[in-house]
Structure 1
């Protein structure tokens, strides 16, 4: 198991050559590329969506442009091999996405024309179908109790080396320093659980099988789930009871 060689609030260096550090503007394009390279169950996004620029804008632009202070990078010998991005202010995120990111991103995408293809059409159809069937409607955790949401990605070839652990630990320590009450995330998986996060105290609050997306992605089964971790057990227990 790797050991911490040096540690500060902006960088952690491990004995296995992995360094976890804060994001810098020079990382933007690499992070956007990594986001798209892992969007389809760890594989490139082209399997279901061909416009990389639009996808990267919708997934990463908020974190890189509006909340970069909560974006951590994983490096191995100078190469970016993973990241974990987090939002500490849900209201701010929703407002910026709605008014500053989505509209300006859609227009260039329409001009590029990549979204006018069969894959995009299928995506829209299956997303609408899942909404109508309420397959993706999960319990909404109380934002006051779980104010932070996040997602992370690890580059192919570097998975299974503890990088996800190191990134998550960096984020959780930051959440604790800022005295926030909890974190949450949603995931789409083949299994109806996520053991990796459960070992860090995350609890599953909701899980639904998304059969319409199974037809879309040609993967069976698929489960959409909501996990949360409270730094106050009484709050977490209360939310879990409500979710059942």
Structure 2
């Protein structure tokens, strides 16, 4: 196994991996338009902080990646990236994404009426770094995810970053267990994530932080 930082020659291969990694998980596809989803959760990391974008290879084949950011305050927020993707890809003119955003609006209204916590960006100076990690189905159980995370935690220590956060889903129990093994702990409430459904069920945000 090889873990190394992203280089420009990896762009096409990583983009292809983004499209198939996570298959079968609750976050396999959010609004059904892969290009715009990559514009939120992958492309900005390739363009703005490639040195914190780590790749895993098994027998020379790219099987996983960790897109990290050492200081979230210096990086466009997820909300800002999503807004840019919505307008740039004209998602409101596409049937499947339009259905997602209408559902998200209804969920948001329901949360306000019930006065429940809302899902959204994480902002806390104690945990300034953040990450997204994804491994192809065929590489799960090979240690690729743990190797990526180990290299990322080494990077946090190298740059004296006090802490890191991530956002996953309560219902993605496999991911939650993995992050706990890596030293992350659950943090805060578990609000509904507007718009997302898995097997017809609403899903809930799980913030996790490192170190405890």
TM-score bin (small chain): 0.7 to 0.9
Question: Could you say if the C-alpha distance between residues 176 and 39 of structure 1 is closer, same or farther in structure 2, counting changes exceeding 3 Å?
Answer: same
SS in 1 for 2:165: strand
- What is the distance in 1 between the residues matched to 2:27 and 2:187? 29
For residues 20 and 122 of structure 1, the distance between their equivalents in structure 2, rounded to whole angstroms, comes to: 39
TM-score for both structures, normalised by structure 1: 0.71
Question: What count of residue pairs does the alignment treat as equivalent?
Answer: 206
Deviation at 1:139, TM superposition (A): 9.2
Summarize deviations over 1:162-195 as a string: whole Å, max 9, x none: 1110000000011011111001100024267822
SS in 2 for 1:201: coil
CA 1:196–1:48: 2 relative to 1, 3 Å: closer
Runs of 5+ unmatched residues, structure 1? 1-17, 231-235, 237-244
Q: TM-score, length-normalised on structure 2?
A: 0.81
Structure 2 unaligned regions, length at least 5 = none
State which drifts further: 189-198 or 122-131: 189-198
Q: Cα–Cα, structure 1 residues 141 and 106, in superposed 2: closer, same or farther, change >3 Å?
A: closer
1:140–1:109 CA distance, 2 compared to 1 (3 A): closer
SS in 2 for 1:62: helix
Larger radius of gyration: 1
Q: Take 2:86 and 2:193, find their aligned partners in 1: how far apart are those partners?
A: 28
Alignment of 1:198-213 (within 5 A): 198-208=180-190, 210=192
User: Taking CA–CA contacts closer than 8 Å with sequence separation of 6 or more, which of the two structures ends up with the larger relative contact order?
Assistant: 2
1:60 matches 2:42: yes
